[in-house]
Amino acid sequence: MLAYVIRRIFVSIPILIGSTILVFIMVKFSGDPLEGLKMRNPPPPRQTILNEEHRLRLDKPVWEQYWLWLKGLVLHGDFGPSVHGNINIGHELGDRLFVTLRLVVLSVLIALIFAVITGVVSAVKQYSATDYSFTFLGFLFLAMPSFWFAILLKSAGIAYNQATGTEAFFTIGEKSVLLTDDSGWGQFKDIAGHMVLPTISLALISYAAWSRFQRASMLEVLNSDYVRLARAKGLRSRQVLVRHALRTALIPLTTVTALDIAALLGGAVITEMVFQWHGLGDYLLRSIRDHDAYAMMGWLLVSAIIVIVFNLIADLLYSVLDPRIRYE
């Protein structure tokens, strides 16, 4: 198992390097990061522009800029200079990573729990009123664009707060600027309160597709020969469902979940924008607006590592769900 993990990590390195090269080239030709400085009125001194070009390594060839970025990252953990000279890209990514990860991880857990439950119930009670109800809800959430659903939730939260004269739902930011209770428990409650609406928004969109996939996978397993054999041997229905059918049916869902992590990160960008969170999504949008090449490279690297880690976890879970799978 350890050898397999090490092999996967080494295989992922060329993928990371190739993706950073592609993004670096596209970003470099997308616009001038000093355009705002050059368009000022009155214009800044020529030497100021030259100093900024030197600081951002714009006075060097593109291949040398990439090599300096890669060497600084590997040897010193330096993500390169930002367009905003007072910002450290590494520290900024670290602070924002926790904000986005808590949203994505909690959304994945909630979506998986509800997808497995509703998918199994729909498969066991195929073509019943329960199955049709879950199918309707699944297609309803599947048809909703993530940005539109997030806006609906935010508007509903604001309307409820105004109608009740309370602040039951937090609709702006990942935490409050001013806290009445700054203890550890108070900070935890404040962060949890701000996570309610964004998490629901991101989780239900993922749940819709995963529940349909789990239903189809469960139906296929329930009609397989080994499940019929287990029933013929006199095993209890609950034992057949949980130990024999569900474990096998979870394998395709594990694959789909790992593949959808990249889409979830994209959905998190939209969700953070709607609820005005200062996470990786907000940082990406600001970097694109400012043509901040090294900030975008840092975002890509962090996101790619998250996707690779989730896919590695999914591969390792295969051996847990199916004893026949072994990584030697």
| Mean pLDDT for the chain overall | 86
Domain ranges of the chain: 2-76, 89-321
Q: How confident is the model at residue 290 (pLDDT cuts 50, 70, 90)?
A: confident
DSSP H helical ranges for the chain: 2-28, 35-38, 46-55, 62-76, 89-124, 129-143, 146-164, 184-222, 225-232, 237-239, 247-259, 261-275, 280-290, 293-321
Task: Over range 31-44, report the average pLDDT.
Answer: 82
For residue 133, what pLDDT is reported?
93
Q: Does 87 score more than 70 pLDDT? A: yes
pLDDT in the model for residue 152: 92
DSSP reduced 3-state for 203: helix
Q: What is the residue whose two structure tokens read 């209890």?
A: 236
281: Cα separation from own chain's centroid: 9
Could you tell me how far CA 147 lies from the centroid of its own chain?
15
For the domain spanning 89-321, the CATH number is 1.10.3720.10
Burial letters 1-20, b for 16+ CB under 10 A, else e: eeeeeeeeeeebeeeeeeeb
Angle at which helix 293-321 crosses helix 261-275, to 10 degrees, equals 130
The model's confidence at residue 46, banded by pLDDT at 50, 70 and 90, is: confident
Cα 51 to chain centroid, rounded = 37
Candidate from 111-120, 132-141, 279-288, 318-327 with smallest mean pLDDT: 318-327
Tell me how far apart the alpha carbons of residues 186 and 316 are, in angstroms, rounded to a whole number: 37
Spatial distance between the Cα atoms of 324 and 278, rounded to a whole number of angstroms = 44
Question: Other CB atoms closer than 10 Å to residue 72's CB: what's the count?
Answer: 15
Average pLDDT over residues 199-213: 90
pLDDT score, position 325: 66
Is the model's pLDDT at 326 over the cut of 80? no
Query: pLDDT at position 323, please?
Result: 65
Residues composing the chain: 328
pLDDT, mean of residues 209-234: 87
